[in-house]
Amino acid sequence: MKDIFEKMKSAGRTEAAADRSFTWYGVNKTVFIRLALAALLFCAGLFLPENAWTVFLMLFSFLISGYDVVVKAVVRLVKERALGEELLLTIAAILSFTINAGYEGAAVMLIYQAGCVLRAYASELTRSSLRDKVDPYPSPVTVEREEETLSLAPEQIEVGDTLLIKPGERFPVDCRVTEGESQIELGELLGASRRRDAAEGASIPAGAVNLTAPLKVRASGTTDHSTFAKVIEYASDEELGHSSTEDDIQRFGNIFAPFALGLSVLIALLLLIFTRTSTENAIHRALILLILATPAAILAPVPLAYLAGLYRSVKKGVLVKGSAILDAIARVGAVVMDKDEMLSTGEFRVLSVKSPRMDPNVLLKVAAHAASGSSKPAAVSITSAYEGIIDRSMIQRFEEFDEGVSAVIDGITISMGSREFMELQNIAVEDVPEEGEFTVYMSLNGMYAGCILLADSVRENARASVMAVESTGCDCILLSGDTEEKTSAAASAAGIREYFANCMPLDRLEKIQEIKERFPVNSVVYLGRGARDSACLSAADVGACVNGLDSDAALSAGSVVVMDDDPAPLADAIDSAKITRRSVRQTILICLVVKAILLVLALAGITYQLWFAMMVDVVMGVAGILLCSRILDGR
């Protein structure tokens, strides 16, 4: 796991910056040398008597601390034809020398560079804090290797090692039980308490907690090749971490920079023409606008805020693959799901038994004996519905076919199956009302005896899951290939108000497109199980899968992956996304308000120095970064 975290820390850096011998918290160590030298020159120029040498000292301080900013500004202007914050700072610092305020320009660049270092340090502190809160891996683990008992760190475990996991300890890697029986807790992975029995041969994922008795297990993977490691990698992937909010801010900054430059010139001219403001004072006020126009304080906290939101979702048992997806589910308008995939248990239940010639209870008893030799879902359901004891000694012969079964019980020939199966045996059946999913017909000695109506059962927690998702403010919509009556019954049982019946695969895609047109601003999420729903997952704005803990297909197919088999945690992921989005907007709003207040004060004649505006900008950026960890706690 530590290897993964090291990769996360070094992602996106150059080879030189990634080398620890040359960096400190992602900042090249030569920057600290430059800043120290620039600070010494600045202090010397500040305390020496004012003369030409003090101007040179301030100029050298400015160049030493900010030459790379100047170079970046020029390169960006030439190659990208864009005015960035670097150019605004460079212009403000250089012009400050023309109004005998060179110390302000040197201070601005020094504070700006120091702010970059502080933001890098605060970012890494915040990242480390967030990682510590979601890292489920223990300290040393007891390992039996070559008749020795060792205490090893989790990352030292190799495939095939035998581990002894005591009650209360976590499993550091994916493993399989070789000795012992116990209960394990999967709450750290699923976001809610889930207990499972673990006996010899059981597979246990990394991050689970042993509860009741010691277990000997064999490692089937390493710390960086487990389901939870994949989840952390996805959540921390900086290539997926770029959000639409960052794009919007950057795009606005690219547009606002030339506007701010032009506006600053206009402000200076207006002050000179219509007021008695001195030239130096007018330029000074205009330069304040250039300092306040830099978006660094706004941009710095945004990536960390989204990372906190992604980690918060992980703690709730949901993997969201990237900031853009987090943005999308924050504005979800509808969650579309398939009846068979999300609501059905896959098991049938007996709705009713109908017979024109015999007691329904007797017919069910005979049917249960005849079906007891079959493992098909319908046969198992009929056998389970009979509450008596199956006397297998009465069964003299049993045959199973694709569409039914045939048996001889106590000298009576019994045939059970579909209408087609009955027709093949020349048995005329009576029509019955369409009450269930399908009907099993039965004959005794070649004569029609009655039928059993079966229906697919809805999951017990279906209604609670739907209520949880709808509590976030979105609509749940059901798609089904069944008839109107059957789909209506399933939707009613799950508490879903809107549904579409008789939907074939292509019909599902058309319905999803229609639903997307109804929600042009909000996102449409399709909730499925992986490979079987790939077309629908792609058609929706966001594809979400359940059962990510036990299904690699679901883990790889979904943009959002619920680790449990229950859709309810999706509601927690939506809440996490909304909290993140709200926190980002609040941070941006606070920064803009503070900048606006400083600008109004400057224009009103309440002057302050350029370095103060830069200092406020740096403090807001660092504070915003440090406050990002509060998102993980939902505040």
Q: In CATH, what number is assigned to the domain containing residue 354?
A: 3.40.1110.10
Same domain assignment for residues 527 and 625 = no
| Higher pLDDT pick, 592 / 130 | 592
Same domain assignment for residues 113 and 19 = yes
CB 219 within 8 A of CB 158: yes
Q: What is the CATH number of the domain that holds 171?
A: 2.70.150.10
Same domain assignment for residues 355 and 483 = no
For residue 11, pLDDT beyond 80: no
Pair of tokens at residue 457: 């059962």
Q: Which 8-state DSSP code applies to residue 533? A: G
Out of 531, 550, 577, pick the residue that ends a domain.
577
CB 494 within 8 A of CB 343: yes
Average of per-residue pLDDT across 121-130: 69
Pair of tokens at residue 550: 């036990």
Same domain assignment for residues 62 and 145 = no
CB 492 within 8 A of CB 463: no
H/E element, 378 = helix 377-385
- Rounded distance between C-alpha atoms, residue 480 and residue 491, angstroms: 10
Q: Which residues contact 242 (CB under 8 A, 6 or more apart)?
A: 303, 322, 323, 324
Residue 476's domain spans which residues? Answer: 319-343+460-577
Counts of helices then strands in the chain (DSSP H, E): 24, 24
CB 480 within 8 A of CB 461: no
Q: What percent of the chain has pLDDT over 90?
A: 12
Residue 281 DSSP SS3: helix
pTM reported for the whole predicted model: 0.74
CB 96 within 8 A of CB 102: yes
> How many structural domains does the chain have?
4
Closest CA to 583 of 312, 346, 204, 292: 312
For residue 277, pLDDT beyond 70: yes
pLDDT given for residue 65 in this prediction: 87
| Higher pLDDT pick, 356 / 121 | 356
Give Cα separations from 537 to 333, 465, 522, 567 (angstroms).
16, 20, 16, 15
Range picked from 75-84, 163-172, 337-346, 435-444 for highest mean pLDDT? 163-172
Average of per-residue pLDDT across 261-270: 85
Give Cα separations from 318 to 360, 473, 514, 538, 559 (angstroms).
48, 19, 27, 19, 10
The pLDDT tens digits for 547-605 are: 888 777 777 888 898 888 888 899 999 999 999 888 888 888 888 888 888 888 887 77
pLDDT given for residue 239 in this prediction: 57
For residue 412, pLDDT beyond 50: yes
Residue 406 DSSP SS3: strand
How sure is the predictor about 5, in pLDDT bands with cuts at 50, 70 and 90? very low
Place of tokens 């609040």: 586
Amino acid of residue 333: G
DSSP string, 570-623: HHHHHHHHHHHHHHHHHHHHHHHHHHHHHHHHHHTT----HHHHHHHHHHHHHH
For residue 335, pLDDT beyond 90: yes
Q: What is the CATH number of the domain that holds 509?
A: 3.40.50.1000
- Rounded distance between C-alpha atoms, residue 109 and residue 62, angstroms: 6
Residue 227 lies in a domain: no
CB 411 within 8 A of CB 424: no
| Higher pLDDT pick, 383 / 140 | 383
Same domain assignment for residues 542 and 464 = yes
Burial of 520 (0-12, 13-18, 19+ CB in 10 A): exposed
Residue 230 lies in a domain: no
**Whole-number average pLDDT of the chain:** 82
Same domain assignment for residues 273 and 328 = no
H/E element, 46 = helix 29-47
Residue 118 CA, distance from chain mean position: 28
Same domain assignment for residues 429 and 376 = yes
